Chain A
Amino acid sequence: MNISIACSNDPAQCVAQLKRGSAAVPKLVLFFASSKLDIGSAERVLHESYPQSELIGCSTAGEISSGSMTEGMIVAMAIPEDYIDQAAATYIENPGDPAEVAKATAAIEAVLSQPILGLDPSSYVGIVIVDGLSGAEERLMEKLGDLTDVPFIGGSAGDDLAFRKTWVSLRGISHDHGAVIAVLHAPKGYQIVKTQSFRTTGKRLIATAVNEATRTVVEFDRQPAADAYAAALGVSVSELPALFMRHPLGLMMGLEPFVRSPQRISGTSVIFYCNMREGAELEVLDSTDIVADTEAALAAQSPTTAAGLINFHCILRTLELRAENRCQEYGQLFAGVPTVGFSTYGEEYMGHMNQTSTMLLFPGA
Chain B
Amino acid sequence: MAGQIKRMLDQIVEKRAKGNTLIANLTTTKLMLKGINPEKYNASSPDDPAVISRVRTVAKELGVSI
Task: Please report A residues at the B interface, Cβ cutoff 8 Å.
Answer: 117, 121-122, 141-142, 145-146, 149, 151, 251, 253-254, 258, 277-281, 350-351
Contact = CB atoms under 8 A, between A and B. Distances in A.
Given A146-B61, A146-B62, A254-B39, A151 B26 contact: yes
Interface string B6-28: 00000000001000101100111
Given A121-B20, A251-B32, 15 more contacts: A121-B22, A122-B22, A141-B33, A142-B30, A146-B61, A146-B62, A149-B16, A149-B23, A254-B39, A258-B32, A258-B33, A277-B35, A278-B35, A280-B35, A350-B33
Contact of A281 (B22, B23, B37): B37
Interface string B25-66: 011111011110101000000000000000000000111000
A265 to B, nearest CB: 24
A266 B21 CA distance: 43
Nearest to A141: B33
A365 to B, nearest CB: 24
Interface of B: 16, 20, 22-23, 26-30, 32-35, 37, 39, 61-63
A138 to B, nearest CB: 8
A145 B13 CA distance: 13
A316 to B, nearest CB: 20
Contacts of A149: 16, 20, 23, 26-27
A236 to B, nearest CB: 31
List 9 A-B pairs, minimum CB-CB distance, nearest first: A277-B35, A351-B33, A149-B23, A145-B30, A146-B61, A350-B29, A253-B32, A121-B22, A146-B62
17 contacts: A141-B33, A142-B30, A142-B34, A145-B30, A146-B61, A146-B62, A149-B16, A149-B20, A149-B26, A151-B26, A251-B33, A253-B29, A277-B34, A279-B35, A280-B35, A350-B30, A350-B33
Nearest to A279: B35
A207 to B, nearest CB: 10
Nearest to B38: A253
Nearest to B40: A281
A279 B20 CA distance: 30
A117 B39 contact: no
A254 B28 CA distance: 11
Contacts of B26: 121, 145, 149, 151, 350
Nearest to A276: B35
A146 B63 contact: yes
A258 to B, nearest CB: 7
A121 B23 contact: yes
Contacts of A350: 26, 29-30, 33
B21 to A, nearest CB: 10
A117 B34 CA distance: 19
A36 B41 CA distance: 50
Nearest to B50: A279
A68 B18 CA distance: 43
Nearest to A256: B29
Nearest to A212: B35
B26 to A, nearest CB: 6
A280 B49 CA distance: 18
A145 to B, nearest CB: 5
Nearest to B39: A254
Nearest to A147: B63
A279 B16 CA distance: 25
